[in-house]
Amino acid sequence: MTIDQNYVKFFGLPVVDFEKPEDWKGPSKAYRVRVDWDTSTEEMGKRYELLGSQADSDKLTAIIVGAWMGDDSSNDSSTVIQHLVALAPKLPALKAIFVGDITYEENEMSWIEQSDLAPLLAAYPGLELLQARGGNSLSISQTTHENLKSLIIETGGMPRSVLRDISRCSFPNLEHLELWLGTGEYGWDGGVEDLQPILTGKLFPKLSYLGLRNSDAIDEIAPVLPNAPLISQLQVLDLSLGSLSDVGARPLLALASAGNLKKLDLSHHYIAPEVVEELQAALPFEVVANDPQEADDEWRNIYVSE
């Protein structure tokens, strides 16, 4: 599978592509700025500047960074992040940023070069949602952010260094942590031990949603989850888009005694129907297991692995 469509909704708002003043439809939209491969990357900066100078742009709450790389798919996100940082005084109401709404036509997920996201957190103290797509060169320098509620990082392969970075940050109000771990083929070099700091439950006291999605290591990760201290504070555990099989699914029966859980999402999986039924019967909360996959011999795919 691939990501073949740009966002049409973000942070609850309809998305509008912004290139020029006529595209401004007031502050109650999420604006996406991007350049295609035939357009100079300098346009990115000009378009952001223009966006920041619209009437009412001080009320804007959501911005999407689309494809920024122009004709060189290895251009990283640092320049575009600088543009956004420079714009911060003009966007005091900004609450949501997505860096990397990029389709597979625009760039291969595993070719996207990110950079340090921390400057965005520093520049926008009111930020509640930070989302990024692409794991290469991604980092979050140690930072504290009082208002961040959601952190979403989508990758085809997440370097363990990103997990380490997240563990070192202080997000006292983080409620939603969604990590697309990906495959070893495209950069996942971690293991269960790299998730342990998060699973202790000490880092993010308000966390109620944990997503360990799009992972081909999920069979190894799932068995440790029922015993993780974090689980008792979660309402949603999302293990979807991965390659979960019976091996990883059966130990999840032990979640039956996991306090507050309201939902376990296993969608896009390789679990046998009878095991799904067993989970649904045994667990005292909603178990979603849509989109069952058919294993091709020994080969099991995750949702995005390019």
Partner 1 sequence: MTNGGIFMSRNEPRRWNILGNPDCRRVARFQAALNQRGQLSAQLIDYASVLGGDSSLTESLASGTLLRIESAAESFSTRRMLLAYGYDRAMAEGYQAASPQQIERHTSAASIEFKPRQLYLGFQRLLQEVDEVCAASGCLPVQAPTDIACMYDKWHCQQLLAAAGIAVPKLLGRIQSWDHLRELTGNDGRTMVKMAHGSGGVGCIALHWSHGRVRAFMSSQTLAMAAPELADLSVPIQVLSDERSLAYVIEQLVPEQIHLEHWLAKAKHQGNPFDLRVVVIAGRPRHAIARVGRSPFTNLNLGGQRLGLDQLDGSERVNLWSQVESMAAKVANCFPQTLSFGLDLLLTPTGQLNVLEVNAFGDLLLNVLSEGQDPYAAEIAATEAWIPSRSGDLSTTGIAVA
Nearer to partner 1, 37 or 209 (CB): 37
CB 107 within 8 A of CB 77: no
Nearer to partner 1, 143 or 305 (CB): 305
Spell out the residues 6+ positions from residue 276 whose beta carbon is closer than 8 angstroms to its own. Answer: 249, 266, 269, 287, 289, 292
Nearer to partner 1, 26 or 125 (CB): 26
Provide the token pair at 42: 């300098």
Neighbouring C-beta atoms of residue 253, cutoff 10 Å: 14
Cα distances from 258 to residues 7, 189, 201, 289, in angstroms, run: 34, 29, 14, 19
Nearer to partner 1, 66 or 248 (CB): 66
Site residues (CB under 8 A) for partner 1? Answer: 2, 4-8, 15, 17, 19-20, 22-23, 32, 36-39, 71-74, 103-105, 108, 111, 306
Nearer to partner 1, 101 or 265 (CB): 101
Query: What minimum distance in Å lies between the beta carbon of 164 and partner 1?
Result: 28
Nearer to partner 1, 5 or 232 (CB): 5
Burial class for 217, CB neighbours closer than 10 Å (0-12, 13-18, 19+): buried
| CA atoms of 69 and 66, how far apart (whole Å) | 9
CB 286 within 8 A of CB 263: yes
Collapsed DSSP state (helix, strand, coil) of residue 43: helix
